[in-house]
Each structure stands twice: as structure tokens, then as C-alpha cells.
Amino acid sequence: MRAAVIDAVGDAGSLYEATVPVPSAFNSEFIVQVVAAGINPIDAKTRAGRGVSAGISSFPAVLGFDFSGVVVKAPYEAHPFRPGTEVFGMTMVPRTSGSYAQYVAVSTLSVAKKPAALSHVEASAVPLAALTAWGMVVEVAKAHHGQRILIHAGSGGVGHFAVQFARYFGAHVIATGSTRNQNWLRELGANEVIDYSTTRFEDVVSDVDVVIDLIGNVVDDTGSRSLGVLHEGGLIVNAPTGSWPTFLEDAAAAGLRATTFKVAPDGDTLSTIARLLESGDVHVFVDEVFDLAHAADAHRALESGHTRGKIVLTIPTH
């Protein structure tokens, strides 16, 4: 099968198209023909030697967590998701081969039926980002009416879902974003939007219940500055791996609750998110689409730091 692979960690140019074996399915796994694959920051970090790169056991390695496609092989004949069923979900790179390829082998617990209202390109942009946002906002922060939630990087892949989920569950949403995304963040449901290029958020925000930190201290000590806007006993949830090495210690010293977050493939939760996408209560935004042969360009676009929503690869069927 055709796939975008790396022979060693490195810059975006280390990604290239090659022919590799089709993965095998074992036990309760599907073989899914991939139509589109979402790109995530963890992919670029892994390619560069960070992220989950330490778990890569052999090269060439296929990256990519997110996919949307069609089941071509089910674990057994009477399985509800029979061959021909359109599904979307997450792989478990580096434990398995990734989604920048024509086929993936994936656990039946890691997929859901693709929302009929979404194209494969749109659906492939959902799983990792939406499940991360759901986990942080709904499961950990328990978003609810009257709660004040500050979401950093609200226009990014995870952020644009986090804003929508927080608002859906009734929270008062404050989002930070660039100048060009101010109106868009309001359309997504943010009650207040802060332009980080002109305003220090800590100058205009206080008494926050929860901070959804999708930046850490990688840019302008955003994470550390966030501690001061939380009320006593408030909660800060940090997702980007390695973005704030002293996170837990700093939060504890400030008298705040804190936790990191790691996403897990979850077909049941993805089915719930699919219903919100079908109903129009939640939307996914795809900023750019590249074909598989230009995976390196897709990574360069992601690493430019100016993506609104998600970037997606289209996968050739033959």
C-alpha cells in the first residue's frame, strides 16, 4: 500500500511517500481503507523526535492518528460494522501503524460510524482533537451552566471543539485567539474573545473556574500567567506534552487543582460527538487539505502555527 513514512526522526522533509505492507488484523480489529487522515500537532512532534517517537520500534514508520474510511475486513461475519461501513476513529501510534496510509488495522473499540452529514475529509479532522476537547472540558472540567472557562488557542484543532463543547454544556466561555479569528470564535460560541496579540489576558480576565491550557509555557509563559486568573481552588488542565515541565508544582504552589490530559481512542464517546455533529450543535473546520504525496507540506503548514481548525490528508484509493 502507499503511505507517507519516515526513515528517521527529523524535519518535515523527512516525510516521503513509499510502498509498505498492508497491516494485518488480529482478534477484534478492523482493516479500514483510509479515505482521509487528519493531521495533529502530536504527529509533527513525533516526526521531529519528540511526542511518542520513543515508542517507534522500527522504520520506515507510518505516522497519523486520525482517519475516516471504509471497513474492508471485520472481526467476524455478523459484526455490526460490516465491510462497506463508513467509519472514523483513531489509531494508537506508535503501538500500531498510522493513518497516513491506504489501510489501517484498528480496534473495534476505537471507531464509530462516520456521521452521514460529514465528508470523509471533515470526519477525519474530528477524532483526536474532539476526543481531547471532550475529555478536558466535559469529563475533567465537567462543564456546566454558570461555570467560567478560559480556553487558550481556541481556534486550533482541539480549541475549536473545546469552545463548542463548553458552550453546549452551558459554561461562560472565554477564548484567546489571533486577530483574524476573533469573530469566528464568537460564532463558535465564545462569550468573550481576547486578542492575544494586543491584550494580556490576565489584564482583562479574573475569577475563572477552569483554564483549558492548550499552549503551556511554549509561548510567552501562557501557562504560568494563567494561574493568576483562576480563583482559589480553581482547576487548570494542560494537554500539550512537554509544554510546561513544572506544571504540577507551579499549580500546587498557587493553591490550585491541576492535571495533565492524555487522549484515548473511544468509539462510544466518538459516537456521542458524531450525534452532535449530525445535529449541527457542533461543527468541524478544515483549514487546508493536502494529498498524501504532499504530507511534508502539510506538516510545514501545521508547524507555521497559523492553522484555523484542522489540516487533512487525502489518501489515494489505488
278 inside domain: no
Q: Is the peptide bond before 94 cis (omega within 30 degrees of 0)?
A: yes
| pTM recorded for the entire structure | 0.97
- Do 218 and 247 reside in the same domain of the chain? yes
Q: Are residues 65 and 6 in the same domain?
A: yes
User: Buried b / exposed e across 57-81, counting CB within 10 Å, b at 16+?
Assistant: eeebbbbbbbbbbbbebbbeeeeeb
- Looking at the domain assignment, is residue 42 inside a domain? yes
Total domain count for the chain?
2
pLDDT, tens only, 155-203: 999 999 999 999 999 999 999 999 999 999 999 999 999 999 999 999 9
State how beta strands 16-19 and 2-6 pair: antiparallel
**Reported confidence tier of residue 204, pLDDT bands at 50, 70, 90:** very high
- Mean pLDDT for all residues in the chain: 97
CATH number of the domain within which 252 lies: 3.40.50.720
248 shares a domain with 172: yes
pLDDT at 302: 96
Q: Which domain holds residue 57?
A: 2-126+284-314
Q: Would 137 be classed as within a structural domain?
A: yes
Per-residue confidence (pLDDT) for residue 22, from 0 to 100: 97
Same domain, 41 and 105: yes
Q: Confirm whether 12 is domain-assigned.
A: yes
Report the distance separating Cα 124 and Cα 284, nearest Å.
10
**Same domain, yes or no: 184 and 292:** no
Model confidence band, residue 31 (pLDDT cutoffs 50, 70, 90) = very high
Integer Cα distance of 178 and 154 in angstroms: 9
The distance of Cα 143 from the centroid of its chain, to the nearest Å, equals 19
